[in-house]
Structure 1
Amino acid sequence: MAGLLVAGATSDAGKSVVTTGLCRAFARRGVRVAPYKAQNMSNNSMVCHGPDGRPAEIGRAQWVQALAAGVRPEPAMNPVLLKPGSDRRSHVVLLGYPAGEVTAGDFATGRRHLAEAAHAAFDGLAARHDLVVAEGAGSPAEINLRSSDYVNMGLARHASLPAVVVGDIDRGGVFAALYGTVGLLEAADQALVAGFVVNRFRGEPSLLRPGLKSLERLTGRRVYGVLPWAPGLWLDSEDALDLAGRRSAGDRARRVVVVRFPRISNFTDVDALGLEPDLDVVFAADPRDLADADLLVLPGTRATLADLGWLRARGLDRAVADHVRRGKPLLGICGGYQLLGHRVTDPHGVEGAAGSDVAGLGLLDVRTEFAAEKTLRLPTGRALGARASGYEIHHGRVTIGRSAPEFLGGVRAGNVFGTLWHGALEGDELRSAFLAETLGLAPSGVSFAAARQRRIDLIADLVERHLDLDALLALAREGAPPGLPVLAPGGGA
């Protein structure tokens, strides 16, 4: 089977970007390529269709990578999705559907069935495509977790995949990180690591070359290229590592403030707002930062009850109420919508203690009760006179009061809007209608779908220009070269 593992010297090294760029670049060459990530740990997810046609859930990054590859997103591309609900507990999505929970104590043991399902999904993709580009998770050198790893070198061993390690030079220490990643691996794993990609370089290339040559000499492995730092580059992200710096566009006419919940999910819902020329989108967790918001957004959350408590503890509930009293618009999405209602109850302990019953913010005439069964939908409809579509991922069952006017599967009360639909603002027609209704803005003509495709093409252009794509394609087809040297202190079991 032909394939390539894109591993990272660290988290957020650029694995998703490199994988996306390779998928688009290989597809341009007529290769039937599929993306894959054995396990994601992320609250940013997307709904696609499973093999039986039912809506299913996968990580957002793999959904975008499928777009880059020109193939239909499917659960096999991200067979295991862990959605953190706390620091020690995650909800498990297996092949697109809920499959219980995993705790921190289960991390190193008790996940064999997940590994088997993930590897079977990879084998199925490989049988149906010319090549699979697999994205690793974190670093392959997490030696405390190697015995149970099925995402990085565990996957590489299963499928005899050659691996390239991506290092982020912008954060410093990239040579030590790349050398050390290989050196900490056991000998059989090292034999599959074929080389490196340096990411986010800015500066004079001639100053970098001596370091690259030394790295190649010391490791016996080649550097497949250096990707430059590209301003404004973004993709639908899978985690919130860089959330504080996302999509602030400077001094703009209107300010959109998104409350940054501790367990924020699907924050990509506001990506489309960040492309609007008359908006500045920022994330905030301090009540003072809400004071000058023209539009306030309460996004999705994986822990609605806990984040409602956090909101009150920080005084953000009063800031939200003040915003509404001033007549300014407020949008709640999924969990953010549910906590705007009168009450949120959890009789079955879906989020925490069974029997929880908490007062909401009381800004919408709705009540939410969590159910054990998750809702996954791809709805379409109309709102504010515009066509609309989105996707639903939630356990909460919302009961709407008789007098509440509907809005995108939710309700509206004056300038307070609530919806269960993620992704609705990506629709240009609906987004224009919403901004006209709430902020009086004229349509900008921005196409979000076109902007996303341009960003994917930009990444692919960078990959084609700065990486040895022929060598990477040959590596994926032929496997790691034989006789790669073992670096100390590797070689142990």
Structure 2
Amino acid sequence: MAGLLVAGATSDAGKSVVTTGLCRAFARRGVAVAPFKAQNMSNNSMVCHGPDGRPAEIGRAQWVQALAARVVPEPAMNPVLLKPGGDRRSHVVLMGHPAGEVAAADFASGRRHLADAAHRAFDDLAGRHEVVVAEGAGSPAEINLRASDYVNMGLARHAALPAVVVGDIDRGGVFAALYGTVGLLGAADQALVAGFVVNRFRGDRGLLGPGLDALERLTGRRVFGVLPWAPGLWLDSEDALDLSGRRSADEGARRVVVVRLPRISNFTDVDALGLEPGLDVVFASQPRDLADADLLVLPGTRATLADLAWLRARGLDRAVVEHARGGKPLLGICGGYQMLGRRVTDPHGVEGPAGADVAGLGLLDAHTEFAAAKTLRLSAGTALGAPASGYEIHHGRVTRGSGGEDFLGGVRAGNVFGTLWHGALEGDELRSAFLAETLGRAPSGVGFGAARERRIELIADLVEEHLDVGALLSLARRGAPAGLPVLAPGGAG
């Protein structure tokens, strides 16, 4: 099987960026390439179609990586998606569809069926593509979890994949992290680690030379390149590690405030607003931070009832209601829309205790009842006189009352908008119409799809310039070189 594992010395080291860049760089060379991540833990997901034509759910990052590879996204690219529903349990999406829950205690055991499914999916992709670029999760040196690992070195061992380890030099300690990652692995795992990529370097590249030389000498493995710090570089995010927002340089920018819910999901819904000139998009979790919002967004959540209780505990519910009753525009998306209704009920215990019946914020005439079956749908229609499209991922069944008017599969009541559609603001015509209606803005001419493609191309350009792409492609095709030295202690795997 031809492929490459892009592992990381830490979480958020840049694995997704390197994987995306390599997918596009290989595709530029005419290689039939596909992305893969055996297990993703993220509440940011996307709807695609499975081989049977049914809608299926995968991690947002793998969906974007498929675009980079110039192939159609499919469930096999992210066979296991874990969606955190709390601190100790995650909802499992297996090959695009709900498959129960997994507890934190199950991470060391009880996941054999997930590993088997992930390996089958990889084998399937590898049988249909020349090269598969697999992104790891976290760090391969999580030695407490090595026995049950199937996304890092467990995957590499299954498919005899060579691995490169990405280290983020901006965090500090990158040489220790890269050396230590290899050194903590068992001999059989070390035999597959072919080298390193250093990410997010700022300054004089020459100053890095002695450290890179020493790393290569001490490990017997090469450094395939150093990616520079690129402040304008961002992709559809995988998780909520960095919700920094997008700030405008324009004086007098209008302020878009997104409520930072504890279990926020699909916060990429506001990425398109962040590209609009004259808009500051910020995430906030204090009532005082909502006071000067020109547009308020209540985003999706993986736990509507729990996050609604959190809103009330912090007084954010009152701040949201005051914003709306002051005549300012308010947009609720999916779980945020459900919170804006009159009631939220959970008779079967889908999200919380069975029989839960909680008052919503009462700004929209709608009632949500959770059902065990999940709705996955690609949706299209019109709103505000513009064509619109999006995707739905929800357990909540929303029943509208007689008040309000249709809006993107939801309801609008004056300045309050609610929709179950994720991704609708990525549509340029719909976004322009919505901003004209809510903030009185003229169309900016910003094209979100074109902007995403430019970001992918920029990442690929950086990879082409600063990494040895030819060597990495050869590595993917030929496997790890023989005779790589074993570093002590070599204790796991």
TM-score, normalised relative to structure 2: 0.99
How far 1:292 moved relative to its partner? 0.5
Equivalents in 2 of 1:317, 1:489: separation in Å? Answer: 54
Q: Matched residue of 1:48: which SS? A: strand
Q: What residue number does 2:82 align with?
A: 82
Taking the aligned partners of 1:409 and 1:214, their CA distance within structure 2 comes to 59
1:456 aligns with 2:456: yes
1:351-403 Cα shifts (integer Å, max 9, x gaps): 12111111000000000000000000001000000000000000000000023
Structure 2 counterpart of 1:279, one-letter code: L
Matches within 5 A, 1:202-213: 202-213=202-213
Task: Determine helix, strand or coil for the equivalent of 2:24.
Answer: helix
Does 2:378 align with 1:378? yes
Query: Partners of 1:404 and 1:349 in 2: how far apart?
Result: 29
Match of 1:39 in 2: 39
Take 2:404 and 2:328, find their aligned partners in 1: how far apart are those partners? 19
Query: Bigger shift: 151-160 or 316-325?
Result: 316-325
Name 2:411's counterpart in structure 1: 411
Equivalent residue for 2:12? 12
**Where in structure 1 are there 5+ consecutive unaligned residues?**
none
- SS of 1:197's equivalent? strand
- Per the alignment, residue 246 of structure 2 pairs with 247
Deviations along 1:219-252, one digit per CA (max 9) or x if unpaired, are 0000000000001111001101011x23123555
Please state how far the C-alpha of 1:325 moved relative to its aligned partner.
1.8
Contact 2:3 2:133 in 1 (8 A): yes
Aligned 8 A contact 2:286 2:314 in 1 = yes
Q: Does the Cα contact within 8 Å between 1:252 and 1:280 map onto a contact in 2?
A: no
User: Does the CA contact (< 8 Å) of 1:265 and 1:299 recur in 2?
Assistant: yes
Quote the offset at 1:191 in angstroms: 0.4
Matched residue type, 2:365? D
1:314-363: CA deviations, max 9, x gaps? 11011111111211000000000000001001111111211111100000
- For residues 18-37 of structure 1, the aligned pairs below 5 Å read 18-37=18-37
Aligned pair count?
492
Contact kept, 8 Å, 1:188 with 1:491, in 2: the verdict is no
Query: Percent same amino acid among aligned pairs?
Result: 85
* Pairing 1:104-143 to 2, within 5 Å after superposition: 104-143=104-143
Q: Does 1:58 align with 2:52?
A: no
Distance, in Å, in 2 between the alignment partners of 1:341 and 1:299 is 14
Q: Deviations over 1:26-70 (max 9, x none)?
A: 000000000000000000000000001110000000000000000
Aligned to 1:286: 286
**Residues 234-273 of structure 1: pairs in structure 2 closer than 5 A:** 234-243=234-243, 245-250=244-249, 251-273=251-273
Change (3 A) 1:306 1:491: closer
Q: How much has 1:253 moved relative to structure 2?
A: 2.1
Query: In structure 2, what is the Cα distance between the partners aligned to 1:48 and 1:247?
Result: 27
Aligned to 2:339: 339
Counterpart residue identity of residue 264, structure 2: I
Residues 154 and 492 of structure 1, relative CA distance in 2, 3 Å threshold: closer
CA distance in 1, matches of 2:252, 2:291: 16
Note the C-alpha offset of 1:188.
Answer: 0.4
| 1:380–1:389 Cα contact (<8 Å) kept | yes
Q: Which runs of 5+ in 2 are unaligned?
A: none
Q: TM-score, normalised by structure 1?
A: 0.99
- Please give the alpha-carbon distance, in whole angstroms, between the structure 2 residues aligned to 1:5 and 1:82: 20
CA distance in 1, matches of 2:452, 2:2: 28
Using the TM superposition, give the Cα deviation of residue 491 of structure 1 relative to its aligned residue in structure 2, in angstroms: 4.8
Q: CA RMSD in A?
A: 0.8
Change (3 A) 1:383 1:492: closer
In the alignment, structure 1 residue 434 sits paired with structure 2 residue 447: no
Structure 1 runs of 4+ aligned residues shifted over 6 Å read none
**Is 1:316 aligned with 2:316?**
yes
Q: How far has the Cα of 1:492 moved from its partner?
A: 5.7
Amino acid at match of 1:286: Q
Counterpart CA distance in 2 for 1:249 and 1:174 is 32
How far apart, in 2, do the equivalents of 1:460 and 1:128 lie?
A: 23
Q: Deviations over 1:175-197 (max 9, x none)?
A: 00000000000110000000000
Contact 1:375-1:392 at 8 Å conserved across structures: yes
Provide the C-alpha distance between the structure 2 equivalents of 1:265 and 1:111, rounded to a whole number of angstroms.
Answer: 24
Which residue identity lines up with residue 465 of structure 2 in the other structure?
R
Deviations 1:110-149 (Å, cap 9, x if unpaired)?
1100000000000000000000000000000000000000
2:45 and 2:266 in contact (8 A); partners too? yes
Contact preservation (8 Å) 2:184, 2:492: no
